[in-house]
Amino acid sequence: MIVLLGVSACAFLPARVRRAAPARVYMDYMNPTAGARSKGQILTASPEGAKQDFLEASPYWDQSAVPVNTWKNKSPYTAKIVSCKRIVGPEATGETCHIIFDHKGEMPYWEGQSYGVLPPGTNPKNGKPHTVRLYSIASSRYGDDMTGKTSSLCVRRATYWDPEMGKDDPAKKGVCSNYLCDGKPGDDCKMTGPSGKVMLMPEENPSTDYIMVATGTGIAPYRGFIRRLFTETTPAGETYKGTAWLFLGVANSDALLYDEEWQAVLDKYPNNFKLDYALSREQTNSKGGKMYIQDKVEEYADDIFKRLENGAVMYFCGLKGMMPGIQEMLKDVCAKKSLDYDEFIAKLKKAGQWRVEVY
């Protein structure tokens, strides 16, 4: 049974003439009361009477035992692909897939961590096996099916358009992203990790605001955060009283990722979840130019600065090219507020309120 959540933001954006292109494949969202479920389905809520509390620390916010590098390059874990689906529309700039893996509970992780993927084959330049590629995990520690035995990645297929050839040059395509996006149910996938602690959620204070800024597939760790706080019945979610504020920057409405999920959370928790999109090819900023992620964040500068002063944690994840624009915008805002930018950011970093993972 497929349940489409909420109302897509696309419904509120201008319609466009569409060219022939692969359509968005809607994910297998499933209401847990609908009956039997498979590992490839994504639960929209906890099954009745069930809680996601069996993979928690004691107390749940204690990060002293976060799993790190359980599986290494020389001895990777072999997971199996459960499903691989394109999750963007025909007008999206490129193809992005949501891939679910079965790890049988043998590769535990926390929200905000990354997995390494070892694509098969050898590098034609040196004849050696391909090196590991890191991907932020796009599910909570309980997985999309809430069993604690699956995990998900959000991957954009990397291609190179050769203008002379008039088509994509297969010799220059991203080895690992294409391997993953071409994955079929039952395929083996060698993985390492989990790794990283920078993007973890500090959960000791249930009133902490989380400000999450992403471009494209940088949305991945935040999906884990949001499912943990609002979709699942977890100790963190049951006590949460703060605001989780998501900013996502993509080219257009067809490139929005997981919009159905965000709309459902927004509908159910309007006082604890905020959502803002920056669509560079469909929106304009206050100066009449394209709306990039820094422009959208700037619209709420006063609110964001106030929340940071009150202990909010601000995250940035996505392409590293997003950061110069963000930094310039924040410098301008600091100047208007008579704040020293370097001192302001240094203070946030020291307090663990400034967390960046870009690539």
Residues 6+ apart with CB under 8 A from 248: 214, 215, 219, 256, 257, 275, 276, 277, 278, 293
Q: Does residue 258 carry a catalytic annotation?
A: no
Cα–Cα nearest to 147, from 220, 236, 47, 77: 47
Which is catalytic among the residues 95, 232, 282, 357? 357
Round to the nearest angstrom and report the end-to-end CA distance of the chain: 37
Which is catalytic among the residues 84, 181, 317, 334? 317
Identify whether the C-beta of residue 236 lies closer than 8 Å to the C-beta of residue 203: yes
Q: Does residue 10 carry a catalytic annotation?
A: no
Q: Does residue 359 carry a catalytic annotation?
A: yes
Cα–Cα nearest to 146, from 105, 174, 116, 181: 105
Q: Does residue 140 carry a catalytic annotation?
A: no
Q: Does residue 317 carry a catalytic annotation?
A: yes
Which is catalytic among the residues 29, 77, 115, 135? 135
Within 10 A of 124 (CB to CB), how many other CB atoms are there?
8
Which is catalytic among the residues 106, 309, 328, 359? 359
| Alpha carbon distances (Å) from 285 to 19, 138, 213, 281 | 27, 29, 17, 11
Do the strands 114-118 and 133-136 form a parallel or antiparallel pair, or are they unpaired?
Answer: antiparallel
Residue tagged 């022939």 (tokens): 20
Which is catalytic among the residues 83, 136, 139, 280? 136
- Active site members: 135-136, 317, 357, 359
